[in-house]
Amino acid sequence: MNKYFVTFSMPAATIQNWMATVDEETRKTQTEDMMQKWEQWMAEHAAQVVDKGMPLGRTKRITSQGITDVKNELNFYIIVEAESHDAAAELLRTHPQLAIIPDTYIEVMTTTGPQ
């Protein structure tokens, strides 16, 4: 089995639009619904999820010129185990975030080093 680093991303514009066009009570309900479906997916795939990850927040970019605050689309990460890169991608195809949040996307990356 190989390990794969998985990122969940959402365009900043999608989040800003949701915040601007959906009332607070509806956002709360939608968030609770998504979290319930996320937890259900994680439970159903517990054998393949080797690191449950965590949300990703504010970003600092460090370059030789200094440190700046930047926005990116990264939202969350997990690490999964699968027979192949294709199998890992197929595993994530049914993740509820894809159905719930418009324009969201998931990326599955191979890892190097000891497996």
pLDDT classification of 3: cutoffs 50, 70, 90: very high
pLDDT at 113: 61
pLDDT at 114: 54
CATH number for position 63: 3.30.70
Which residue type is seen at 31? T
- Per residue in 31-88, pLDDT tens? 899 899 999 999 999 999 999 999 998 999 999 999 999 988 999 999 999 999 999 9
How many domains, in total, are found in the chain?
1
Please provide residue 106's backbone torsions phi and psi, each rounded to the nearest 5 degrees. -120, 135
| Distance of alpha carbon 4 from alpha carbon 49, whole angstroms | 10
Note whether residue 115 is domain-resident.
no
pLDDT at 31: 87
SS (H, E, C) 45-98: CCCCEEEEEEECCCEEEEECCEEEEECCCEEEEEEEEECCHHHHHHHHCCCCHH
**What's CA 61's distance to the chain center, in Å?**
20
What is the residue range of 28's domain?
A: 2-110
pTM: 0.86
